[in-house]
Amino acid sequence: MRGPHNIIRLIRTGATFERTGAMNVVLEALEAPPLVKGVFRAIVWPFQWLGYKGDVNTPPVPRALTALGPAYIKFGQILSTRPDVVGNDMAIQLRVLQDKLPPFSMQEAKDEIEREIGQTVEQLFSSFSEPVAAASLAQVHKAHLADTGEAVAVKVLRPGIEKAFRKDIDAFYFAARAIEFLSPSSRRLRPMEVITHFEGVVSGELDLRLESSAASEFADNTAEDAGFAVPRVRWHLSARRVMTLDWAEGVNAGDNDAIDAAGHNREELSTRVLQMFLNHALRDGYFHGDMHQGNLKIGANGDIIAYDFGIMGRIDEYTRRVYAEILYGFIRRDYKRVAEVHFEAGYVPANRDVDEFARALRAVGEPIFGMDATRISMARLLSYLFEVTERFGMETRTELIHLQRTMVVVEGVARSMNPKMNIWEDARPIVEAYIKDSIGPKAIMQDLVKTAVVLSRYGSRLPAMAEAAIIRQSKPAQDDDQKIKLGPAVWMVSGAAIMGLAVWIVSSI
C-alpha cells in the first residue's frame, strides 16, 4: 500500500497546502534547505487548482488540515501534543483545530448500532436524537433507554472510517520517507516515528471498546474525588464501533456567563480543575490527555464532569516521583535539588556539571517567581525547563511532553475561569501531599513491603533455592572468583526467605 500510487494523493495534499499558504510554514518547521523548498514548490505549484480552499479565517496549517478531512484533522490534533517535533508556535496553531465535521445520516448511525449491539435503535431507546456533535472519527447522539428512561450519550464511529484512515496513513508513511530522503536534516524530527505514533493512537481510537475501558478505569480512579465526575459506561450498549455513556448534563466549562448564571463559584472551580488534574497525574499516573473546555461540563451540583476519553496519558510511578520532586523543588526555589533530581533520574548526562545546571535552572525560575501572581505560569516554566534541559543534552521524554502539553491546556481552562489565580499556590498542597506520601519515610516502608510481597510469592521455592545455593558454595571451587560470585546468591536467597517469612507472619496476625 505504501508505493508510488500514493503520489496522486500526496499531490492533492501538497496542492491544498500550497493554496492555503501552509506549505511554507511546514517547510520552515522542518528546516528544509532552499533546494528542497524549491523542489516541493515546483512540484505542487502547477496543481494548485486541485487543492481545497479551506476556511480563509483559519491559520494556514489548520486551514489545510481541516479542508483535507478527518485523518488530517486528527493528525494535526495529535501533532499539537508534540511541540518537541513541530515547535511551540505550530503546536499552538494546531490546538485551534475545530473537530467539527458534517454528520453522517441518522439511518447509517442506526444501522451501525444494530450491527454492533444486535438490536434495533427502537428496541433499545425510547428516543434517539439527531447528532449533537460530529467529529473526525465519530458522532454523538442523545438517547433515552427504553427500559428505564435514563438519558445516555451514544457515540458511533463514522462508516468506513477505518478504511479511509488506512489509505491516508499509507500516504503519510510515503511522505515521511520522501521527506527523510530529500531533507536529511529533517531526520532529527523523526518523521517516520511521528507517523508510527499517529497510527498507534488512531488505531486505539478506532476501537471504542478501548475508549470505554479508559472511561471505566478513569471513573474507578476518581470515584472518591469530591466535585469531580465521570459518566458511567453502559457496557451492554457498547461495542467496537459504538460506545454508550450516561448523559452529562451541565454548562460548558468555557462559558463563564452560563457558569455565573448557574450560581457556581468560578474561583473555586478554577482551583479544583487544576488540583484534580495534578491528583490524577501524580496520585494515579493516569490522566485525561485532552482536558480542554470542550471536554468538560459543570453540573447543576457544581461537579466538574469530564468526557471524551480517546486521548489519555499514563506515567509510571518512578516518573511521577521525579516530576513531583522537580515541581516541589521549584515551589521551594531549591534549584540545586531540582538539578540533582535530573541527574539522579538520568535525564541529564552524568558528565555535565550539576552546579552549572542548577544555575541555568535558577535563570529559568527566578524571573517567573518575580512576576505578579496573576502572571505566574507553571506551563511557561515547564516550557522553559525543557529548553534548558535540551541544551544540557537531555533526551526527549514523550510522557513528560504529553504531561506538559496537558498542563498547558488545564492551566488555560483554570485561568479562563479565574484570571487572577495563583497557579503555584493552588498546586502546592497537592504536590506537597504527594511528596509526603510517595517520597518520605512512609513511601520507603511501602516500597520495602512491596518488595517483600513479590519475594513471598516464591516462598514455597525459597528453601530449595537456599539449599541448592549452599550446596554449590560448599563444593570445591574451580577458582577463587567462583565463591565471590556465589556468595551474594546465598545472601540474596537467605534474605528473600527471611523477608518472605516476615510477610507471611505479618499477614497471618
199 plus 211 within the same structural domain: no
Q: Is residue 176 situated within a structural domain?
A: yes
296 plus 370 within the same structural domain: yes
Q: Rounded to the nearest 5°, which phi and psi values hold at 322?
A: -65, -45
pLDDT for position 288: 93
Q: In angstroms, what CA-CA distances link 188 with 31, 61, 85, 167, 397?
A: 10, 21, 9, 26, 15
Q: Could you tell me where the DSSP H helices lie in 21-59? A: 22-29, 34-44
Hey, what's the cell of 465?
Answer: 533455592
91 plus 126 within the same structural domain: no
Strands of 151-157's sheet, edge to edge?
A: 125-134, 138-145, 151-157, 242-246
pLDDT for position 287: 94
Mark which of 217, 247, 277 sits at the end of a domain.
Answer: 247
Those residues with Cβ within 8 angstroms of residue 82's Cβ, 6 or more apart along the chain or in another chain: 91, 194, 197, 401, 405
335 plus 392 within the same structural domain: yes
Helix (H, G, I), strand (E, B) or coil at 306: strand
281 plus 327 within the same structural domain: yes
**Are 196 and 261 contacting, i.e. CB atoms less than 8 angstroms apart?**
no
Residue with cell 517520597: 439
Q: Quick one: which of 129, 170, 124 has its CA closest to 147?
A: 124
Q: Is residue 259 situated within a structural domain?
A: yes
pLDDT for position 383: 65
pLDDT for position 81: 59
Tell me, what amino acid is at 478?
Answer: Q
Those residues with Cβ within 8 angstroms of residue 85's Cβ, 6 or more apart along the chain or in another chain: 79, 189, 190, 194
Provide the Cα torsion 54, 56, 59, 63; round to 10°. Answer: 0
Q: What is the pLDDT along the chain (509 residues), one digit of tens a residue?
A: 455 566 777 777 878 888 888 777 777 766 667 776 777 777 777 777 777 888 888 888 888 888 887 778 877 876 765 655 666 677 767 766 755 667 899 999 999 999 999 999 999 999 999 999 888 889 999 999 999 999 999 999 999 888 888 878 888 888 777 777 766 655 655 677 777 877 777 777 889 999 999 999 999 999 999 999 999 999 999 999 999 999 999 999 988 999 999 999 999 999 999 999 999 998 999 999 888 888 899 999 999 999 989 888 888 888 888 888 887 888 788 999 989 988 888 888 888 899 998 998 888 778 766 665 566 666 666 666 667 766 777 665 666 667 777 887 888 888 889 888 877 788 888 888 888 777 666 666 666 676 666 666 666 676 777 777 777 766 655 555 444 444 544 444 445 444 444 444 444 44
pLDDT for position 507: 43
Mark which of 380, 404, 439 sits at the end of a domain.
Answer: 439
**Are 241 and 116 contacting, i.e. CB atoms less than 8 angstroms apart?**
yes
72 plus 173 within the same structural domain: yes
Q: Quick one: which of 330, 317, 283, 288 has its CA closest to 433?
A: 283
Q: Return the bridge partners of 313, or none.
A: 287
Q: Is residue 1 situated within a structural domain?
A: no
Q: Is residue 194 situated within a structural domain?
A: yes
pLDDT for position 492: 46
Cα–Cα dist 393/348, whole Å = 6
Q: Can you give the residue range of the structural domain that contains 223?
A: 105-157+207-247
**Are 279 and 169 contacting, i.e. CB atoms less than 8 angstroms apart?**
no
142 plus 50 within the same structural domain: no
Q: Which of 84, 168, 225, 290 is catalytic?
A: 290
182 plus 295 within the same structural domain: no
Residue with cell 516464591: 458
Q: In angstroms, what CA-CA distances link 461 with 175, 335, 467, 473?
A: 56, 48, 10, 18
- We report the CATH number of the domain holding residue 239 as 3.30.200.20
Beta strand 242-246 with 151-157: parallel, antiparallel or unpaired? antiparallel
391 plus 346 within the same structural domain: yes
Cα–Cα dist 59/135, whole Å = 20
Those residues with Cβ within 8 angstroms of residue 306's Cβ, 6 or more apart along the chain or in another chain: 218, 228, 229, 230, 288, 291, 295, 296
Cα–Cα dist 239/207, whole Å = 8
Tally of structural domains, the chain:
4
pLDDT for position 440: 62
Range 439-442 contact pairs with CB under 8 angstroms and sequence separation of 24 or more: 439/321, 439/324, 439/325
Residue 290 falls in the annotated catalytic set: yes
119 plus 230 within the same structural domain: yes
pLDDT for position 111: 96
427 plus 386 within the same structural domain: yes
137 plus 168 within the same structural domain: no
Mark which of 412, 439, 466 sits at the end of a domain.
Answer: 439
pLDDT for position 44: 72
Hey, what's the cell of 442?
Answer: 512512609
